[in-house]
Amino acid sequence: MADRASDSARSLQGLAAILAALSLALFAWIQAGFVRAFSDAAAGQSMLDARIGGYERDDVIAMIRYLKDHPDPATILHSMYLGPELIFPLVLGGLLFCLMRLVGPGGFFFGRPIPPGATAVIFCLPIFYTLVDYAENIAGLMLYPPAMPSDATISLLAGLLPIIVRLKFLTLVVTVILLARFAIFRYLSPDGTRPS
């Protein structure tokens, strides 16, 4: 039984290592091949997806107008959505889920053990991140050229995109904070369990 658990942990570690390498490679490809190329083609303007601080409805509308008159950056953005962004959210979400399984949510919040229901919610965070990231990409494909959205679609998605991107980064940050907390708790636990 212990051997099976050990083999399972090693398999999960191997999968996490592969997903980490793929995540880094895809992130580097997106940054070097698309974010930088977009900035060069758009005279220094950055794509909205690269703005970590988020953006507002007016930024989305301004980007749509800009891309209608500038086909080169529009092509780069469209190629990113249909290239590495097709798999990057899934790979990163899978990595976060594997790491969560490896550190094993546990410990105490406000002096009470984490209940099983909260553990289930914690495991859903990487899945939610993945879904929200894909929602952002789909909205971008529906808004930016070569798409020709109606005024109603522009109004709806321009209002939703800033919310979606904030949810994406919030979920990612919360997941990373929880991973760090659980890893530290596991390392310091009295039974001597150490993270692998």
User: Is residue 79 situated within a structural domain?
Assistant: yes
User: Is residue 7 situated within a structural domain?
Assistant: yes
CA 36/CA 41 separation, integer angstroms: 9
Give the range with max mean pLDDT: 101-105, 106-110, 142-146: 142-146
Phi-psi region at 43: left, alpha or beta (left = phi > 0; alpha = psi -120 to 50): left
Residue 192: per-residue pLDDT = 46
How many distinct structural domains can be found in the chain?
1
**Domain residue limits at 176:** 2-188
User: Is residue 195 situated within a structural domain?
Assistant: no
User: Is residue 196 situated within a structural domain?
Assistant: no
What value does the mean pLDDT of the chain take?
Answer: 90
182 pLDDT band, cuts 50/70/90, is: confident
Question: For residue range 8-39, what is the model confidence (pLDDT) as tens digits?
Answer: 778 899 999 999 999 999 999 999 999 999 99
**What are the strands, taking DSSP E only, across 54-149?**
108-109, 112-113
User: Is residue 30 situated within a structural domain?
Assistant: yes
Residue 129: per-residue pLDDT = 97
Residue 2: per-residue pLDDT = 56
User: Is residue 194 situated within a structural domain?
Assistant: no
User: Is residue 175 situated within a structural domain?
Assistant: yes
| Average pLDDT estimate for 100-122 | 79
108 pLDDT band, cuts 50/70/90, is: low
| Average pLDDT estimate for 169-184 | 92
Q: Which amino acid is at 24?
A: L
CA 124/CA 119 separation, integer angstroms: 9
User: Is residue 193 situated within a structural domain?
Assistant: no
Q: What torsion, rounded to 10 degrees, do the Cα atoms 195, 11, 27, 77 define? A: -130
Contact 76, 156 (CB under 8 A): no
**Predicted TM-score of the model (pTM):** 0.88
Peptide bond into 89 cis (omega under 30): no
Looking at per-residue pLDDT, the higher value among 36 and 3 belongs to 36
Angle made by CA atoms 89, 147, 154, in degrees to the nearest 5: 85
| Average pLDDT estimate for 157-180 | 95
Residue 4: per-residue pLDDT = 67
